[in-house]
Amino acid sequence: MCLQEVKLTVLSLKNIDKQLKCLLKETSAAFYLMSIPGIGPLSAAVFLGELGDPANFHNARQIVKYAGYDPQESDSGSRIGRKCISNKKGRWLLRKYLFFMGMKGAVLSNYFQEYYLRKLETKNRVGQQPRRKEMLCAVAIKLIKVNLGKSSTAQFREGLLAENNYKSISLVN
């Protein structure tokens, strides 16, 4: 009885996965997201599901704000604080998946890895080394700007596809 339920569950998960891949094949935003190594159908689907239609946003900065990744400074009087990202605004699931996609991109993609390392070498306005979490958030923001920016980054996206040898992606097995 229990084994049969497990088999049915696995079968339904495979069916859902196939449907998800078919739906993602219809959107160009999913193609660009999945062109980054480490970002698969599930991450792209959750990202686009939380975001909705990327065409509703005029620029990538609005998407960053919608996700809640626009940093706020925590200065008070003469005290100079760090920029932090509030946990209480924006879409928490979108922000979570962006963070994980940024981590994968920083590890598996040459472009995002170089961006991450370049950011680590910089210092903030107080002269402190940035925290690694801050740099991963910066990679997530860069991921939004590269993938969902308007036509000004279209040629760059094509170059990123060529760099990572992801010219054609098979979404349906």
Residues 6+ apart with CB under 8 A from 99: 136, 137, 140
Residue 72 backbone dihedrals phi, psi, to 5 degrees:
-120, 140
pLDDT of residue 151: 39
> CA 105, 127, 65 angle in degrees (round to 5)?
45
Distance CA 89, CA 5 (A): 40
pLDDT of residue 19: 92
Q: Name the nearest CA neighbour of 30 among 131, 163, 156, 170.
A: 170
> CA 67, 71, 39 angle in degrees (round to 5)?
45
Question: What pTM value is reported for the model?
Answer: 0.73
Tell me: pLDDT of 9 over 90: yes
Distance CA 32, CA 35 (A): 5
Longest dimension (CA), the chain: 68
Spell out the domain ranges in the chain: 37-163
pLDDT band at 93; cut points 50, 70, 90: very high
Token couple for 13: 């998960």
Span 114-169, pLDDT tens digits: 999 888 888 766 677 777 888 888 888 888 888 876 434 444 455 555 555 443 34
